[in-house]
Amino acid sequence: MIARVAFPIPVPRLFDYRVPEPLRDAVRPGIRVRAPLSGRQEVGVLVEIVPAEPQQGEDHAMEELIAILNGPSFEPLTLELLQRVSDDYVAPLGLAAARMLPVSVRRTEDPELSVSEELAEAIDYVRRMERRAPRQVAILRRLMSTRAPVFRSGLMRGLGVSGRQVDRLVELGLIRRVPRSESPRRIENRRFDPLEPGIALLQGSDRLEAYAEWIADTMEREEQVLVLSPEILHATGLRKRLVRATGRRIDLYHSELSDAARGAIWEDVRLGKAKLVVGTRSALFLPFQRLGLVIVDEEQDASYKQSEMLPYYQARDVAVRHPRAPYTVLGASVPSLMTQASVTAGRVQHIVTSVDPLIQCDVVDMRGETQMLGGATIAAMHAVFQNGGRVLIGVAQAGAFGAAVCAACGSTLRCPRCGMSLTCRTKGSPLVCPTCAHTPGEMGCWQCGETDYRPVGRGSESVEDDLGAWFPDHPVVRIDRETFRRGAEALLRELNGTGPIIVATPMIAKGASLPRVELAVAIDMHRMLSVPDFRATERAVQYMVGLAGRTTHRRLIVQSSNPDNEVLRAVSKGRLDQLWRNETEDRRSFGFPPFGAMARLTLVRRDRAKRRADAERILADCPATIEVLGPVDRSRGANESYLTLRATSRERIVEACRGIRETRIPVRIDIDPDRS
């Protein structure tokens, strides 16, 4: 018996091992095993079992499996899905498997807590223990300020308190554990017909009711449901809304959970105990036994594309090809052009919840302005504050500023490791790469050698500081990757709280309207529209509509130094249909997706001449059906160059990339790249 094993290494092949007699009854595809590899013991995933014995004379050369490891494992169909991702995105199966599979299981209790019914005792304790036990007092105040129960883990993370301090209040009877029992809501008056098998686009901002009805239909058939969300913050809020809408227990699965916690959910899904899961893209690979429905909410969001590490897959596209899901729903207010093209081609059913009202969009001309906010914007904000409302400020990126440029020649300072523009996370902190987190320390300009630089653009932190100076009586809440460290629950409380000003990066531009937020402001829109990417228009429109959707009356102010931009005019006048037609024709004429396919190759040799030689070899070997663009160097010292492949079909791109992989040229392959 031969076991074929995939290891977490960037090598696109399986390794064969003889299965020793004591392990033969326990081996099966999907389990984790330990085996010798290049003189070391490595852990991999067993992919295939070949019943044949080694050929005569080969037995002495084939090494044996060492052990089978306990813990989570892949089910056959989940392994099939992972193999499909590996094939479709030309990614090593072992790396993909290692990054999806938790390695341990530890069931930890995470009860929901609320203040006890003896509220007077809690109030008296707060008054008496204000100085002696400030953390316990903070816990009580948090629970007294909300009607809904709060998870123990969220309470600890949001307030920075220990489990012992929480448990002490339980012992004193001041807070209580709320049983997590299901009380499914019966659907009395349906608005939506039952789904037909296949893929459906659900368009509209009020999608939750349709989700709840279709989830109820699925669970009546005793099948499981997976709801995908693009980001952890959105997933946490969506789970809360679905719990209220369905009355059911819902598990939340994402990368910020501990490995053991993810392992526990993994096993609950495999055993059928977890019926309904909300998660980010990695939840696609949970071992569902009876998956009946997959919902991809905010399907247009760029976060569904994994661009940080192999495998570079697009979760939305993987979801629609899930081998176990007879029903798939793609939800969006402004669907991606890829999905719209599938609707036009008849591959996707189109369901409209209701016609969303047009956003009220005013464009503020920033030409000649020297400060961050225009006069019209400031006046509108004052009017909102006078009415007791709140304002949401959308910022392009986190940190103190957008980029750093050389003070002498004006060149953008770039990361010497990966070539991306350097920024600054906090005022006074060193320059850092937002992509690979490299902090280069003092460095000279790659163009002229000058070490002095000046900041350009505004990040969320500098916007927060400026707003605090202009509106000292109105506290500012900041939502970005730095504040996210406090936890999604804490940020959701602030979003749904009373803070009059919210400053947030693009992660905020999705979801339902926020309480009393009457105005959204998009600053620096010209930066988003000028990104060198064929999707720039599409994403800018989705961002503006999403930002307006977080307000109670869909009201948006867009600041731009190019107020006559055709995209801004179309959004402000409600002419999105014509804009989409123009965008579709532009993509068709240039062969961009959905009318063509692309791949991005990153050549990674340190020596530039060798990278050029690799590029020339790829260019010579590619068939005539593939258009090769480049190579383009990121920047001097980045040690990377790009090639872009284009073809009329995805199949041709995949075939070409497989051929390139066989050449052993050191290259990273990204099919359907996030950017052109």
Q: For 457-506, what is each residue's pLDDT tens digit?
A: 677 888 888 888 889 999 999 988 888 877 888 888 888 888 899 999 99
- Using only C-alpha atoms, the chain has a radius of gyration, in whole angstroms, of 27
Helix (H, G, I), strand (E, B) or coil at 214: helix
Whole-angstrom distance, CA of residue 262 vs CA of residue 283: 10
Read off the pLDDT band of 386 (50, 70, 90). very high
Residues 6+ apart with CB under 8 A from 334: 300, 541, 542, 545, 546, 576
Token pair of 165, please? 């301090």
pLDDT > 90 fraction of the chain, expressed in percent and rounded:
51
- The per-residue pLDDT for 429 is 64
Is 291 in contact with 231 (CB distance < 8 Å)?
Answer: no
Whole-angstrom distance, CA of residue 239 vs CA of residue 206: 15
Distances, alpha carbon 261 to alpha carbons 72, 265, 352, 481, 488, in Å = 12, 7, 37, 22, 16
Full set of structural domains in the chain with CATH: 2-100 (3.40.1440.60), 112-178 (no CATH), 198-352 (3.40.50.300), 360-399+458-588 (3.40.50.300), 597-671 (3.30.70.600)
For 225-248, write each residue's pLDDT tens digit: 999 999 999 999 999 899 989 988
Distances, alpha carbon 676 to alpha carbons 257, 339, 346, 518, 536, in Å = 32, 19, 27, 36, 10
Distances, alpha carbon 651 to alpha carbons 319, 347, 507, 622, 658, in Å = 19, 18, 33, 14, 11
Whole-angstrom distance, CA of residue 145 vs CA of residue 142: 5
Token pair of 121, please? 């005792």
Nearest by Cα to 544 from 561, 562, 520, 565: 520
478 forms beta bridges with: 503
Predicted TM-score (pTM) of the model is 0.85
Token pair of 476, please? 């500012």
List of E strands, 523-619: 555-560, 597-603
Whole-angstrom distance, CA of residue 121 vs CA of residue 63: 68
Helices (H), 37-92: 76-88
Whole-angstrom distance, CA of residue 171 vs CA of residue 166: 9
Edge to edge, what strands does the sheet with 251-253 contain?
A: 251-253, 276-279, 224-228, 291-297, 327-332, 198-203, 349-352
Return the exposure string of 502-529: e unless at least 16 CB atoms fall within 10 Å of the residue's CB, then b.
Answer: bbbbbbbbbbeebebbbbbbbbbbbbbb
Token pair of 187, please? 């659907």
Whole-angstrom distance, CA of residue 599 vs CA of residue 676: 9
How big is the CA angle at 619 (ends 617 and 620), to the nearest 5 degrees? 65
Please return the burial class of 661, using the count of CB atoms within 10 Å of its CB with bins 0-12, 13-18 and 19+: middle
- The per-residue pLDDT for 636 is 47
Is 551 in contact with 520 (CB distance < 8 Å)?
Answer: yes
For 335-379, write each residue's pLDDT tens digit: 999 999 999 999 999 999 887 888 999 999 988 887 889 999 999
| Of 149-163, 502-516, 569-583, minimum mean pLDDT range | 149-163
Distances, alpha carbon 229 to alpha carbons 236, 304, 557, in Å = 9, 8, 27
For 425-440, write each residue's pLDDT tens digit: 555 567 777 655 677 7
- The per-residue pLDDT for 489 is 80
For 26-74, write each residue's pLDDT tens digit: 999 999 999 999 889 999 999 999 987 655 555 457 899 999 998 889 9
Nearest by Cα to 458 from 406, 398, 413: 398
501 forms beta bridges with: 391, 476
